[in-house]
């Protein structure tokens, strides 16, 4: 009598980022994963467009960690805010955040969020880009100061957290991948993981069958 072979366990998954926002987003897929800093230089190349920078860095981060863990499937991601073709990064300080929000007041910004999935052992390496167009209201200096003191978004590209009070600074968000603005486009991430051989629902079924919680 033929006994069906057991479904092989999925490859380990690693998020090549120490961002708590990306970690919290990836947890929504209910996949067990580790986190490792990719140690990648994020300096833009001369004349590099924001979309190209986000795409390059997301892939570089995934490759950097995949080289250390060749059997794993590694997710890399990067986000660059694009104001009229100029990249806007994380402010890092209150003063720079004030400057960024003054520049963006009344303007549309495109947040370019890149995601890449790499597995050295299988030779898989693919990436995608999820642009999100955000329109800021005309903001007064008092509104900017009040918001920054309340939320202190100094580790966020563009100096605003759309998932928090920062939503009050905006007049519109246009996106086909809603979590991209927070830092990890989960629709595209899920598609890349399936292409790499790690389907979140199949992995969950395997985990449940084995009696192990994801």
Note the pLDDT tens digit of each residue in 159-203: 999 989 999 999 999 999 999 999 999 999 999 999 999 999 988
Q: 133: domain range?
A: 13-209
Domain membership of residue 84 (yes or no) is yes
Domain membership of residue 4 (yes or no) is no
Domain membership of residue 203 (yes or no) is yes
- 154-163 average pLDDT score: 90
Confidence of residue 214 (pLDDT cuts 50, 70, 90): very low
Domain membership of residue 35 (yes or no) is yes
Indicate if 141 belongs to the active site: no
**Rounded-to-integer distance, Cα 37 and Cα 44, Å:** 19
Question: What's the CATH code of the domain at 58?
Answer: 3.90.950.10
Residue 93, C-beta contacts closer than 8 angstroms, at least 6 positions apart: 154
Count of structural domains within the chain: 1
Helix axis angle, 200-209 to 186-195, nearest 10°: 70
pLDDT tens figures, 119-129: 999 999 999 99
Kindly name the residue from 78, 82, 128, 177 that is annotated as catalytic.
78
Mean pLDDT score of the chain? 92
Domain membership of residue 62 (yes or no) is yes
Domain membership of residue 1 (yes or no) is no
Q: With 70 as the cut, is the pLDDT of residue 5 above it?
A: no
Domain membership of residue 178 (yes or no) is yes
Percent of the chain surpassing pLDDT 70: 93
Domain membership of residue 157 (yes or no) is yes
H or E, element range at 212: none
Tokens 């490859």 sit on residue: 11
Q: Which two tokens stand for residue 96?
A: 């720079």
Confidence at residue 194, expressed as pLDDT on a 0 to 100 scale: 97
Q: Supply φ then ψ for residue 88, to 5 degrees.
A: -125, 120
**Rounded-to-integer distance, Cα 173 and Cα 168, Å:** 12
């Amino acid at each position: 009598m033929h006994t069906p072979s057991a479904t092989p366990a999925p490859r380990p998954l690693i998020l090549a980022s120490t961002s708590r926002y990306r970690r919290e987003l990836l947890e929504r897929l209910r996949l067990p994963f580790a986190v490792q800093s990719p140690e990648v230089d994020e300096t833009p190349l001369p004349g590099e467009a924001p979309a190209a920078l986000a795409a390059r860095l997301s892939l570089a981060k995934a490759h950097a960690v995949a080289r250390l863990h060749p059997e794993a499937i590694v997710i890399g991601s990067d986000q660059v805010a694009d104001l009229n073709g100029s990249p806007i990064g994380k402010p890092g300080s209150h003063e720079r955040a004030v400057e960024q929000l003054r520049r963006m007041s009344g303007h549309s910004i495109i947040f370019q969020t890149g995601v890449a999935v790499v597995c050295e052992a299988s030779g898989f390496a693919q990436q995608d880009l999820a642009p999100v167009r955000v329109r800021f209201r005309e903001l007064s200096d008092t509104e900017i100061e009040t918001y920054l003191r309340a939320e202190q978004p100094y580790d966020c590209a563009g100096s605003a957290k759309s998932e928090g009070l920062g939503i009050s600074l905006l007049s519109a968000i246009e996106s086909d991948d809603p979590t991209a603005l927070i830092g990890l486009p989960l629709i595209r991430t899920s598609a890349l993981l399936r292409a790499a051989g790690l389907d979140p629902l199949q992995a969950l079924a395997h985990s449940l069958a084995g009696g192990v919680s994801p």
